[in-house]
Amino acid sequence: MRKLNYILLLVTSLALPAQAANLIKGYVSDDTKDVIIGANVYWEGTQQGTTTDINGYFEIEPVEGHSRLVVSYIGYTTQTVIVTDTSEPLRIILKGEIELDDIVVSERKMGTIASRISVLQTQKITFDELCRAACCNLAESFETNPSVDVSYSDAATGARQIKLLGLSGTYVQMLTENYPNFRGAASLYGLDYIPGPWMESIQVSKGTSSVKNGYEALAGQINVEFKKPPTADIFSANVFASDAGRMEANSDASWHINDKVSTGLLVHYSNDKQEHDGNDDGFLDTPLTEQVNLMNRWYHQLDNYISQYGVRYLHENRTGGQAVKHHHFDDPYRIKLRTNRAELFTKQAYIIDKEKVESVAMILSGSYHEQKSMYDRTPYNIYQTNIYTSLLYEKEFSPMHSLSTGLSLNHDGFAENLTMPGAERQTFNRDETVYGAYTQYTFNLNDKLILLAGIRGDYSTLYDFFVTPRVHVKYNPFEWFHIRASAGKGFRTANVLAENNFLLASSRKMEIASNLDQEEVWNTGLNLSFYIPLFGKELSLTGEWYYTDFLKQVVVDMDSDPHAVRYYNLDGKSYSNSFQIEATYPFFRGFTMTAAYRYTDAKTDYKNADGTIERLKKPLVSDYKGLVTASYQTPLKKWQFDLTGQLNGGGRMPKPDATNPLWDNRFKAFTIWNAQVTKYFRTWSVYLGAENMFDFKQKNPIIAYDEPRGDNFDGTMVWGPVHGRKFYAGIRFNLSRD
């Protein structure tokens, strides 16, 4: 049974239902209502047990003469439940601290959990960790994470992008509940489309991932799990405001219509319409935005069949450019983006044979994304339709051997048009359908040695047939020492305008070569994890190295011409080396600290104007990053204090004009500090915080701001914060189902 839950967690993220009516069913969560995956559930005094799945759900056969059900998980207090009523699912809450006579005497649970079981190097960012900062959306969810960087792409549109392993977010596969999402047109602003209070958790994995989710994870994978109707609170809300005038409101509610059907509604509204121009350059430090976000999902469970359905709609207006209220411009330079996005999805799963661990599942999703943009006098519009479906089959032949296989289809339809000043309207319409099949084999030797080997073949209507092999190995020579290694390929179709239209916030010309290649990468990685007993506690120490080698790449060249952006196929070498060490230790009761250091060496061969090739470090990428984050929670969880410091190393800037250099060749290192204080009450909490406490700002992030329609104007030379210190406050409320 434990193996069944492990396999289904990687494949379908669906809870699989009981096969017989007399099974004991239930859910396991912690005291913040975050589900616990992999908790042990067994009858006291017996060997009959199971583990919880991705929804915290379990089912176990009754044992005659036994009514005491034991539930345990590392870092939580073991609970023993006397089972008398089996008509309704049990709801069991594990506490992250041990109590004796109502006095807390042991450790708090971790906010970020590194899986010790998974063969892939995966970190789970829990809801508790998300609450350590304002976390208004996905873009603001990685402030305490040393692996993922989120930075502004430019100083005008507010577009933000992830960097992982020294590579931009386009090389990171974004998933929502284990199906691909926010690709193409949504990749640039998609981090702002997921409200923080909607999220149950985030899973971050580096390097190549499983072939089940496709061929696109070149540098890593980020999966977002939303709150689910069976386990979500009856009602919760979050209201947030900052001294910069940003206001936000989130709420969600769930209803259990009966023991088989439940539904949830999630609502978000944000408004940031107060103009700020801290450096008095006449341009807004951050864009003016307004967003409405709605989601409704359903959960349906029968005997050995389960299904989920969901629909979502987003509308956003975004305005950047010159600050018209505080400056007098006859004809202001403005950037306006209007976005509408609709999504729907369904997941279906069925157990063919529970004893033989055999199941089949299907995922189907569709989205329509519309972005109408006006970059001053340059109109750019994009319309994208995406359809994705996957059929998955699982079978465990024995505890040592299991097989997964499946089929997939992904269709992207793009309609883009761009009219540069003084040029005719250009259209970039294209369709790509990719048909795929995969097979993945798992060898498990008593959880001490695990081999995960997969291969998939895909046919693209644009790039013909290609093969993606991937292999992962996990070996535990000792209980306190784990080794992981991975190697595999990744492929990606570059959508150059959709993914880089923020570069239109400049006077640079767009030069796009014809017949751009499908990007192709080899990624290899090694991870060493140590769990060292130290002074009665456990020191977690991790060291890792990942190497990403591009066989084919679409190069985004801002060096060969300071007045143009050139897109062309790689001619030479492009790679990224990433080294990271990380340590976490709970120094005393309620207090935990994490420290990490990462070094990045990412280089690409660029074509100079004279045709020569020059190997340069990737621009606007910090050479290194250091992070220290500390959190203290008082006994009985009455107060919580969080502090995070980020040391961002210097790096290379794109080459300036040799005859008229308007920016330096390099940017310097800088440090950012964030802090938050939270007061907890029975059903609600209030939090106060500060971002960028010491008010560090990049000076003059907009080049030639006094001549926005001149040849030198460029709003994309951003390497640091474009806004100063911010204070914020918020209230969280939740009405627990239990």
Q: Is 719 helix (H, G, I), strand (E, B) or coil?
A: coil
Compute the distance between CA of residue 547 and CA of residue 277 in angstroms, rounded to an integer: 41
State the CB neighbour count (10 A cutoff) for residue 82. 8
**What are the DSSP E strand ranges found in 35-111?**
40-43, 49-51, 57-60, 68-72, 79-82, 90-94, 99-100, 103-104
pLDDT at 3: 42
Asked if 582 and 595 count as a contact pair (C-beta separation under 8 A), the reply is yes
> Which residues, in sequence order, are CB contacts of 61 under 8 Å at separation 6+?
20, 22, 23, 24, 48
pLDDT in tens, 220-254: 999 999 999 998 999 999 999 999 889 999 999 99
Backbone angles phi, psi at 73, to 5 degrees: -160, 145
pLDDT at 75: 63
Mean pLDDT by 10 residues, the chain (738 residues): 40 38 80 76 79 82 82 77 79 64 47 78 87 84 89 87 89 93 91 93 92 93 94 94 93 93 96 89 92 97 90 97 80 95 96 83 97 95 97 92 96 94 86 97 91 97 97 94 96 94 92 94 96 91 97 96 95 96 93 96 94 94 96 92 96 94 95 96 94 93 93 94 92 88
Asked if 141 and 130 count as a contact pair (C-beta separation under 8 A), the reply is yes
> Which residues, in sequence order, are CB contacts of 615 under 8 Å at separation 6+?
572, 573, 603, 604, 605, 606
Q: What is the 3-state secondary structure (H, E, C) of 438-457?
A: EEEEEEEECCCEEEEEEEEE
pLDDT at 486: 96
Compute the distance between CA of residue 500 and CA of residue 620 in angstroms, rounded to an integer: 15
Asked if 121 and 206 count as a contact pair (C-beta separation under 8 A), the reply is yes
**Structure-derived torsion over alpha carbons of residues 180, 181, 183, 186, reported in degrees to the nearest 10:** 180
Type and span of the H or E element at 162: strand 160-164
**What are the DSSP E strand ranges found in 570-717?**
574-588, 591-607, 613-617, 624-633, 639-648, 651-652, 666-667, 670-680, 684-691
Cβ-in-10-Å burial (0-12, 13-18, 19+) of 403 comes to middle
pLDDT at 98: 39
Type and span of the H or E element at 169: none
Asked if 48 and 59 count as a contact pair (C-beta separation under 8 A), the reply is no
* Bridge partners (DSSP) listed for residue 626: 597, 647
Tokens 């140590």 map to which residue?
Answer: 530
Cα atoms in the 13 Å half-sphere on the side-chain side of 27:
20
Give the residue from 715, 668, 724, 673 showing the smallest Cα distance to 695: 724
pLDDT at 402: 93
State the CB neighbour count (10 A cutoff) for residue 103. 9
pLDDT at 412: 97
Compute the distance between CA of residue 603 and CA of residue 578 in angstroms, rounded to an integer: 12
Backbone angles phi, psi at 335, to 5 degrees: -120, 125
pLDDT at 74: 66
3-state DSSP percent of the chain in helix, strand and coil, to 5 = 5, 55, 40
Residues in the chain: 738
The three-point CA angle 676-678-682 to 5° equals: 165
The pair of three-digit structure tokens given for residue 535, joined into one six-digit string = 């002074």
pLDDT at 5: 43
